[in-house]
C-alpha cells in the first residue's frame, strides 16, 4: 500500500510519453467538472478534499460517512505519514480532519472496522518517536526502493486515537491490513516466515493463517464484496539474478517493487491466478461492488510515467482505462454502496509534488 513517495518524484522528473485512447461510450464529460480530464467519463461532480502536502491511501468507513487517510505535511509538523480521519463533506463543503494516530514514528494502511467506530493501522511508534530513515536510492542505482520497516505492527484504535489492542507482535514487518466485508477477518502482509507473504487473522481469536507461499513480495490485499476472493499485487522474481537481488534487498529490509502484477485467489489462498501480464508496476488493486477489479498501472509508458487507474473483470478481461491525468492517479476505493470513488492524485497541484485526495460520483 505505501508505494508513492519516490514514485511521485520519478513521475515529476520523467517526460510525458504520449496521449491515451479511451472508451467513449454514451456518457459524456460534465463540462462543469473542472477537475476532470478528457476521457474521464466515469467520474462526475469531482471534489478535491485536501490542498497541499502529501495525502494518500484514503479509505471509506463501511457506512460511507468517514474517511481515513495518511498524510505527510512538514509545514504542519507532520514529518512522515500519520493517520487522519475526516467526515465526508457535502457538495461545496470543506473537508476537515483530525489526527488519529499517535503522531510518533510512521504509520500506514488505515482501515475502518465494521462498526465504523474503530480503525486498524500499522505503525512504527513502539520502536521510536522519530520517523524511520528513508533508504538512500543512490546505493541501488537510483531504483525505486521501498523500506520494509521491521518495526511496523498493526493496532486497533478508537476514533479518538486511543490504541485498544496490538494485533501483531512477531519480529519484522507486519502491515498493509484490510478487513473482510463482515469485519471478522484481516488480511495483511508479514515477513514472519522470511518472505513477504499474505496472512489472514481472525480478529476474535487472533488465529493467523498463511495464504501465499511463493517467493516474492505479496501485498496490498483486499477481500471481494462477498468475502470469497482476495486480490493483491505481487512481484515474482524468476531468473537467478532477479531472485538474488530480491533476497539481497530483503536482508536489508528493502524491496524494489517496480515489476508487479495483479493476482486473484480464493480467500484461503487457493486457486491463485495472475490476472495481469502488463509489465512494469501494476498495483493498488481492489474490488468494485459488482466484483470487477480496479487497479493502478504505468504499463502504457516506457519510462513508467504517468500512473493511471484501470477497471477490468475479475479474470483480467475487458480492461478499461478510467483516469487520464498526466502524472499520478492511484489508491482508488469505492464506497461500499458503489456510488462514489475516492483516490489520490497529483492533478490540480500547481506543478508541485503535492498529492491530494479527490472524491467523485461513479458513472456506470
Please state, in angstroms and rounded to a whole number, the distance separating the CA atoms of residues 220 and 197.
Answer: 10
Our count of domains for the chain comes to 1
Half-sphere exposure of 158 (CA within 13 A, CB side): 3
The DSSP bridge pattern shows strands 163-166 and 118-123 to be unpaired
**Residues 144, 257 contacting (CB under 8 angstroms):** yes
What 179-184 contacts at long range (C-beta under 8 Å, 24+ apart), as own/partner pairs, is 179/111, 179/112, 179/113, 179/114, 179/120, 179/203, 179/223, 180/223, 180/227, 180/267, 181/223, 181/225, 181/226, 181/227, 182/114, 182/227, 183/62, 183/113, 183/114, 183/115, 184/114
pLDDT in tens, 163-221: 999 999 999 999 999 999 999 999 999 999 999 999 999 999 999 999 999 999 999 99
**Residues 262, 293 contacting (CB under 8 angstroms):** yes
pLDDT in tens, 283-323: 999 999 999 999 999 999 988 889 999 999 999 999 999 99
**Residues 282, 312 contacting (CB under 8 angstroms):** no
CA 317, distance to chain mean position in Å, is 22
Q: Give the mean pLDDT of 264-278.
A: 98
How high is the pLDDT of residue 304?
83
Q: How large is the greatest C-alpha to C-alpha distance in the chain, in angstroms?
A: 55
Confidence bin at 276 (pLDDT 50/70/90)? very high
Q: Give the mean pLDDT of 14-37.
A: 46
Q: Which has the higher per-residue pLDDT, 91 or 19?
A: 91
How high is the pLDDT of residue 24?
33
Asked if residue 11 has pLDDT above 50, the reply is no
Asked if residue 14 has pLDDT above 50, the reply is no
Please state, in angstroms and rounded to a whole number, the distance separating the CA atoms of residues 93 and 330.
Answer: 24
How high is the pLDDT of residue 305?
82
How high is the pLDDT of residue 71?
98
Look up the domain containing 163 and give its range.
Answer: 5-362
CATH number at residue 126: 2.120.10.30
Asked if residue 161 has pLDDT above 90, the reply is yes
How high is the pLDDT of residue 13?
34
Asked if residue 79 has pLDDT above 90, the reply is yes
Output the CA angle 165-72-309, nearest 5 degrees.
Answer: 95
Amino acid at each position: 500500500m505505501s508505494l508513492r513517495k519516490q514514485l511521485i518524484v520519478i513521475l515529476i522528473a520523467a517526460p510525458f510519453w504520449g496521449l491515451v485512447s479511451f472508451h467513449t461510450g454514451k456518457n459524456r464529460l460534465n463540462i462543469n467538472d473542472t477537475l476532470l480530464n478528457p476521457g474521464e467519463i466515469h467520474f462526475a461532480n469531482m471534489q478535491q478534499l485536501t490542498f497541499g502536502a502529501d495525502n494518500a491511501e484514503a479509505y471509506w468507513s463501511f457506512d460511507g460517512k468517514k474517511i481515513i487517510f495518511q498524510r505527510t505535511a512538514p509545514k504542519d509538523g507532520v514529518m512522515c505519514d500519520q493517520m487522519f480521519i475526516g467526515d465526508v463533506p457535502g457538495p461545496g463543503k470543506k473537508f476537515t480532519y483530525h489526527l488519529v494516530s499517535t503522531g510518533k514514528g510512521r504509520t500506514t494502511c488505515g482501515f475502518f472496522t465494521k462498526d465504523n467506530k474503530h480503525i486498524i493501522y500499522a505503525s512504527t511508534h513502539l520502536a521510536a518517536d522519530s520517523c524511520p530513515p528513508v533508504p538512500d536510492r543512490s546505493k541501488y542505482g537510483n531504483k525505486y526502493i521501498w523500506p520494509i520497516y521491521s518495526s511496523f505492527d498493526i493496532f486497533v484504535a478508537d476514533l479518538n486515537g486511543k490504541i485498544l489492542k496490538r494485533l501483531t507482535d512477531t519480529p519484522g514487518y507486519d502491515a498493509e491490513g484490510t478487513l473482510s466485508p463482515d469485519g471478522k477477518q484481516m488480511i495483511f502482509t508479514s515477513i514472519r516466515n522470511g518472505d513477504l507473504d499474505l496472512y489472514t487473522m481472525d480478529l476474535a481469536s487472533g488465529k493467523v493463517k498463511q495464504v501465499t507461499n511463493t517467493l516474492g513480495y505479496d501485498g496490498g490485499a483486499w477481500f471481494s464484496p462477498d468475502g470469497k476472493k482476495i486480490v493483491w499485487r505481487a512481484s515474482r522474481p524468476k531468473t537467478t539474478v532477479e531472485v538474488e537481488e530480491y533476497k539481497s534487498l530483503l536482508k536489508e529490509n528493502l524491496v524494489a517493487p517496480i515489476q508487479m502484477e495483479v493476482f486473484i485467489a480464493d480467500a484461503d489462498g487457493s486457486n491463485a491466478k495472475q490476472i495481469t501480464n502488463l509489465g512494469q508496476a501494476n498495483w493498488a488493486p481492489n474490488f468494485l461492488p459488482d466484483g470487477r477489479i480496479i487497479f493502478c498501472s504505468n504499463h502504457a509508458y516506457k519510462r513508467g510515467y504517468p500512473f493511471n487507474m484501470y477497471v477490468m473483470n475479475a479474470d483480467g478481461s475487458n480492461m478499461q482505462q478510467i483516469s487520464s491525468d498526466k502524472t499520478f492517479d492511484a489508491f482508488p476505493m469505492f464506497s461500499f454502496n458503489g456510488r462514489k470513488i475516492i483516490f489520490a492524485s497529483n492533478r490540480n497541484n500547481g506543478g508541485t509534488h503535492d498529492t491530494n485526495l479527490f472524491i467523485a460520483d461513479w458513472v456506470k
